[in-house]
């Protein structure tokens, strides 16, 4: 038992309600907040937690798991016979090699760092592969260990202040690429090491674009850590925006784009809080920045562009749990013009969430199949997609159960 005498839901035998209460408390969420996100009352949450009400149906359990960001469904249900990772995957085969490169601390240098131009070209190829390959984690997982070691080496061997700042900017970008690989993997400590090192390297670089990217990813990490971290997500986003906005009159497209991406992140966090007006206000501001970019512009890290704003609108509506609005925005968005395969798959998953909220589970499943076609590794590690598929494997419709079960098999999930 932990030192604060709080029972550990991962170790002690407890009923569902007790586990839900402990996990809710650890995420800093009140009963009224959790109930509101579930479309229930705070008294309903209390009834489940105290055992006055029976354990809810599977679709409600999956929604609770989604909101509390549990590592494995058994952590919430207490059923140790079925282990199902939700928001973290089983761990990519290349995770150990990436972790070893991040954790290494070589003080000596037995070789010369590659030229800056060579490292920049390798980074550009890695980003291109990340956006174009259906198995993007496999591709960048193979590239990252060498990139991490060489970028660190370049910083250590830089002999001039300007050279060192440029090397720090590249190192920050390598850590940004690393975060895309590590996200939704079963190593939260590694994720935070990469986030923090990326922020430090970006600050040392004094490069506005590098700072914006590192802050954009840090805000996402904070937001995805749960409601207790939403203020931290806002602090990173808004402080960086205050730094970037005075630079915009003379800035190039990349700085304008990362400012737009960060502006949307502030709206995303507001939507996660349920603050509809604030979320859409930030979305409008981000769209205005996107409209200032060339029509064919595509930010190589964030995918920010004119085309992405439709997808962002779907995300805001889904996070606000507005099913009808989600479907309306999905109809207005054009996923085909999103150049990044993983980002296109993520958009399809957000659309599927909207269709599920709107009571259209057959369309949701069809949309998830499209996500799998675009980027199988994206949907494999996405907890929202897994929740929908698992819920529909117990649907009353035999045809829907068959479709959901077939998709579950493709995702490596236990099918009903």
Q: Which residue, of 206, 226, 248, is where some domain finishes?
A: 206
Contact 191, 144 (CB under 8 A): no
Mean pLDDT estimate for the chain: 89
Q: Where are the beta strands (DSSP E) in 222-305?
A: none
14: helix, strand or coil: coil
Q: Which residue, of 148, 174, 206, is where some domain finishes?
A: 206
Q: Supply 72's token pair.
A: 């494995």
Note whether residue 128 is domain-resident. Answer: yes
| 135 and 168 inside one domain | yes
| 138 and 46 inside one domain | no
pLDDT band (50, 70, 90) for residue 38: confident
Among 122-126, 233-237, 330-334, 410-414, where is mean pLDDT lowest? 410-414
Among 281-290, 296-305, 389-398, where is mean pLDDT lowest? 389-398
CA end-to-end span of the chain = 35
What would the pLDDT profile of 140-150 be if each residue is shown by its tens digit?
Answer: 999 999 999 99
Q: What is the pLDDT of residue 315?
A: 96
The residues pairing with 85 across neighbouring beta strands, listed in sequence order, are 72
| 117 and 167 inside one domain | yes
Q: Is the pLDDT of residue 336 over 70?
A: no
Q: What is the pLDDT of residue 44?
A: 93
Q: What is the pLDDT of residue 411?
A: 85
Cα 240 from Cα 234, distance rounded (Å): 10
Q: Is the pLDDT of residue 76 over 90?
A: no
| 98 and 140 inside one domain | yes
| 200 and 99 inside one domain | yes
Percentage, residues of the chain above pLDDT 90: 64
| 98 and 201 inside one domain | yes
Cα 366 from Cα 370, distance rounded (Å): 7
Cα 112 from Cα 239, distance rounded (Å): 37
Q: What is the pLDDT of residue 88?
A: 59
Q: What is the pLDDT of residue 68?
A: 81
Would you give the DSSP letter of residue 40? S
Q: What is the pLDDT of residue 414?
A: 63
Among 227-241, 278-292, 373-387, where is mean pLDDT lowest? 373-387
Q: Is the pLDDT of residue 5 over 50?
A: no
| 135 and 52 inside one domain | no
Q: Is the pLDDT of residue 369 over 80?
A: yes
Q: Is the pLDDT of residue 195 over 90?
A: yes
- Kindly provide the b/e burial profile for residues 225-243, where b requires at least 16 CB atoms within 10 angstroms of the residue's own CB: bbbebbebbbebbbebbee
| 97 and 196 inside one domain | yes
Q: Which residue, of 191, 206, 221, is where some domain finishes?
A: 206
Q: Which of 344, 316, 346, 345 minimizes the C-alpha distance to 329?
A: 316
Q: What is the pLDDT of residue 1?
A: 36
Residue found by looking up tokens 């906005």 in the block: 245
Domain count, the chain: 2
Note whether residue 345 is domain-resident. Answer: no
Q: Is the pLDDT of residue 84 over 70?
A: no
Percentage, residues of the chain above pLDDT 70: 92
Q: What is the pLDDT of residue 109?
A: 66
Q: Is the pLDDT of residue 9 over 50?
A: no
Q: What is the pLDDT of residue 184?
A: 82
The residues pairing with 72 across neighbouring beta strands, listed in sequence order, are 85
Note whether residue 363 is domain-resident. Answer: no
**CATH number of the CATH domain containing 25:** 1.10.260.40
Instruction: Count the neighbouring beta carbons within 10 Å of the beta carbon of residue 320.
Output: 20
Note whether residue 412 is domain-resident. Answer: no
Note whether residue 298 is domain-resident. Answer: no
CA 276 to chain centre: 21
Contact 247, 276 (CB under 8 A): no
- Kindly provide the b/e burial profile for residues 36-58, where b requires at least 16 CB atoms within 10 angstroms of the residue's own CB: bbbebeeebbbbbbeeeeeebeb
Q: Which of 78, 121, 211, 104 minimizes the C-alpha distance to 156?
A: 104
Q: Is the pLDDT of residue 82 over 70?
A: no
Q: What is the pLDDT of residue 319?
A: 94
| 136 and 32 inside one domain | no
Note whether residue 106 is domain-resident. Answer: yes
CA 131 to chain centre: 15
Q: Which of 135, 208, 140 minimizes the C-alpha distance to 179?
A: 140
| 139 and 172 inside one domain | yes
Alpha helices for 274-340 (secondary structure H): 276-291, 308-319, 323-332
Query: Whole-prediction pTM value?
Result: 0.81
Among 6-20, 180-194, 344-358, where is mean pLDDT lowest? 6-20
| 121 and 47 inside one domain | no
Please list, in sequence order, all residues whose beta carbon lies within 8 angstroms of the beta carbon of residue 77, skipping any fewer than 6 positions away. Answer: 16, 19, 61
| 48 and 110 inside one domain | no
What would the pLDDT profile of 40-49 be if each residue is shown by its tens digit?
Answer: 898 999 999 9
Q: Is the pLDDT of residue 174 over 60?
A: yes
Domain of 49, in residue numbers: 16-77
Q: Is the pLDDT of residue 394 over 80?
A: yes
Contact 394, 98 (CB under 8 A): no
Q: Is the pLDDT of residue 11 over 80?
A: no
Note whether residue 63 is domain-resident. Answer: yes
More confident residue, 107 or 253: 253
Note whether residue 391 is domain-resident. Answer: no
């Amino acid at each position: 038992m932990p030192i604060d005498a709080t029972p550990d839901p991962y170790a002690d035998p407890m009923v569902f309600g007790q586990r839900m209460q402990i996990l809710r408390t650890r995420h800093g969420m009140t009963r009224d907040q959790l109930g509101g996100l579930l479309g229930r009352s705070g008294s309903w949450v209390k009834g489940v937690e105290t055992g006055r009400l029976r354990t809810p149906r599977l679709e409600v359990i999956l929604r609770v798991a989604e909101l509390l960001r549990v590592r494995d469904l058994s952590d919430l249900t207490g059923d140790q016979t079925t282990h199902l990772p939700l928001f973290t995957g089983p761990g990519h085969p290349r995770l150990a090699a990436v972790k070893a490169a991040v954790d290494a601390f070589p003080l000596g240098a037995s070789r010369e760092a590659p030229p800056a131009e060579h490292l920049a070209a390798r980074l550009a190829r890695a980003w291109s592969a990340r956006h174009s390959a259906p198995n993007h984690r496999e591709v960048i997982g193979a590239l990252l260990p060498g990139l991490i070691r060489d970028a660190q080496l370049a910083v250590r061997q830089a002999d001039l202040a300007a050279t060192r700042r440029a090397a720090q900017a590249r190192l920050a970008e390598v850590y940004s690429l690393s975060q895309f690989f590590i996200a939704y993997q079963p190593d939260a400590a590694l994720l935070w090491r990469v986030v923090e090192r990326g922020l430090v390297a970006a600050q040392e670089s004094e490069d506005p674009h590098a700072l914006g990217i590192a802050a954009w990813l840090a805000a996402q990490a904070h937001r995805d850590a749960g409601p207790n971290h939403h203020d931290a997500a806002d602090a990173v986003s808004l402080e960086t925006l205050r730094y970037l906005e005075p630079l915009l009159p003379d800035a190039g497209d990349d700085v304008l784009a990362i400012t737009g991406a960060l502006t949307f992140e502030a709206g995303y966090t507001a939507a996660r809080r349920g603050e509809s007006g604030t979320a859409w206000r930030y979305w409008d501001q981000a769209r205005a920045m996107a409209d200032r970019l060339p029509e064919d512009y595509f930010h190589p890290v964030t995918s920010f562009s004119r085309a992405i704003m439709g997808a962002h609108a779907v995300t805001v509506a889904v996070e606000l749990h507005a099913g009808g609005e989600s479907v309306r925005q999905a109809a207005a968005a054009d996923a085909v013009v999103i150049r990044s395969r993983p980002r296109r798959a993520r958009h399809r998953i957000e659309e599927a969430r909207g269709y599920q909220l709107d009571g259209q589970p057959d369309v949701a499943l069809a949309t998830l199949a499209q996500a799998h076609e675009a980027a199988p590794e994206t949907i494999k590690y996405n907890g929202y997609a897994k929740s929908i598929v698992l819920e529909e494997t117990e649907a009353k419709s035999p045809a829907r159960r068959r479709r959901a079960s077939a998709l579950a098999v493709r995702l490596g999930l236990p099918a009903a």
